[in-house]
């Protein structure tokens, strides 16, 4: 009996209570301008400017994510996340210009996205120097391992895989595998016969949704 009570309490706390809180959390953030798609569960997250964040449908977000638009109030969104995206606990989006994440991507815990830097000229405090700002683009069906850092101007192509702990300073072509500090190409995803490409799967799913 005691075990049954514990299991019931676990299910209620993990599944239904989180959904209950998510419903009211999303309602409040939508009033502040945040865009949140259908069936996306929103846990406790930190957000500087809610109207700068747009999240698609059927996304799974874990606790402790920080959506930081690093600037004064201006029109958005500057943080754009597609459909069916997973974002693990403790990820940080430190954005001044723009970051886009494509559909069906997996972002593991602890990843960091920074689209700007500081100037490093000697003779002046670095905190007072204005650095470059370049948008970050992440394609569809991309997998980022734990604690990946993606820096300004990087584009990650569809289907790419980035190994845990990598620091990306250069762009990645579709289906490539990168790792290391700084990251470099270490392989490519194998092609399995009979497996449909991502774009064909997406087209078929879109057609079925329209029927």
Q: Which of 51, 116, 118, 130 is labelled catalytic?
A: 118
DSSP secondary structure, 141-190, as one string: T-EE-TT-EE-TT-EE-TT-EE-TT-EE-S-B-TTEEEETTTTEEEEEPP
Please count the other Cβ atoms lying within 10 Å of the Cβ belonging to residue 148. Answer: 25
Cβ(39)–Cβ(65) below 8 Å: no
Active site residue 118: yes
What is the rounded CA–CA span in Å between residue 106 and residue 108? 6
The DSSP secondary-structure symbol of 54 reads: E
CA distances from 64 to 12, 21, 42 (A): 21, 15, 11
What is the rounded CA–CA span in Å between residue 84 and residue 67? 18
The DSSP secondary-structure symbol of 41 reads: B
Query: How are beta strands 143-144 and 161-162 bridged, if at all?
Result: parallel
| CA-based nearest residue to 130, from 71, 77, 74 | 71
Q: Which residues are catalytic?
A: 118
């Amino acid at each position: 009996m005691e075990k049954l009570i514990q299991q019931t309490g676990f299910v209620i706390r993990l599944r239904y209570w989180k959904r209950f809180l998510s419903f009211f959390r999303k309602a409040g953030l939508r009033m502040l301008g945040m865009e949140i798609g259908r069936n996306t569960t929103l846990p406790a997250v930190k957000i500087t400017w809610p109207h700068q964040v747009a999240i698609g449908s059927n996304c799974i977000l874990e606790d402790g994510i920080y959506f930081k638009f690093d600037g004064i109030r201006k029109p958005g969104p500057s943080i754009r996340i597609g459909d069916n995206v997973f974002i693990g606990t403790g990820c940080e989006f430190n954005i001044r210009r723009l970051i886009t994440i494509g559909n069906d991507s997996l972002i593991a815990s602890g990843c960091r996205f920074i689209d700007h830097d500081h100037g490093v000229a000697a003779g002046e405090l670095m905190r007072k120097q204005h650095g470059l700002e370049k948008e970050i683009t992440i394609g569809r069906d991309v997998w980022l391992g734990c604690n990946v850092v993606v820096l300004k101007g990087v584009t990650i192509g569809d289907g790419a895989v980035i190994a845990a702990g990598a620091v990306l300073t250069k762009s990645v072509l579709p289906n490539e595998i990168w790792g290391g500090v700084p990251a470099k190409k270490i392989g490519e995803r194998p092609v399995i016969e009979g497996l449909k490409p991502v774009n064909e799967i997406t087209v078929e799913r879109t057609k079925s949704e329209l029927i």
